[in-house]
Amino acid sequence: AQKVTQAQTEISVVEKEDVTLDCVYETRDTTYYLFWYKQPPSGELVFLIRRNSFDEQNEISGRYSWNFQKSTSSFNFTITASQVVDSAVYFCALSLRKTSGTYKYIFGTGTRLKVLA
């Protein structure tokens, strides 16, 4: 089965708190990509990160950090010192190569993050 699970439907935090958004994926493919996107109320999808299956190195970008663990099939996203502007829906996604050569892109159900002032 190929699936992305974001168990947290909605999270509320107070500004300046750290928050971690969980993502668990399922695939039997050995080559795949994982993504995180931010969707603010306006609707557009803002690309945050792409990670390929062979690169388990964690990444930090400003207040954002990602923890990729193949052993647990997880790709968690942490926002440090959250801000009100971080309020949005965050999607984790899995990209798999199809036999046709194109890619299949599977989204999680999203986590709605509310950062309260």
Partner 1 sequence: GAVVSQHPSWVICKSGTSVKIECRSLDFQATTMFWYRQFPKQSLMLMATSNEGSKATYEQGVEKDKFLINHASLTLSTLTVTSAHPEDSSFYICSAVGAGSYGYTFGSGTRLTVV
Binding residues vs partner 1 (CB under 8 A)? 33, 35, 37, 42-45, 47, 50, 91, 95, 100, 102-105, 107-110, 112
Give 53-92 as a DSSP string.
TT----EEETTEEEEEEGGGTEEEEEESS--GGG-EEEEE
With respect to partner 1, which residue has the nearer C-beta, 33 or 64?
Answer: 33
The CA distance from 89 to 77, in Å, is: 13
Instruction: Report yes or no: 65 and 80 within 8 Å, Cβ to Cβ.
Output: yes
CB of 35 closer than 8 Å to CB of 47? yes
Q: Choose between 16 and 50: whose C-beta lies nearer to partner 1.
A: 50
Of 19 and 93, which has the nearer Cβ to partner 1?
Answer: 93
Provide the minimum distance between the beta carbon of 23 and partner 1 in the complex, in angstroms, as a whole number: 12
> In angstroms, what is the minimal distance from the CB of 40 to partner 1?
11
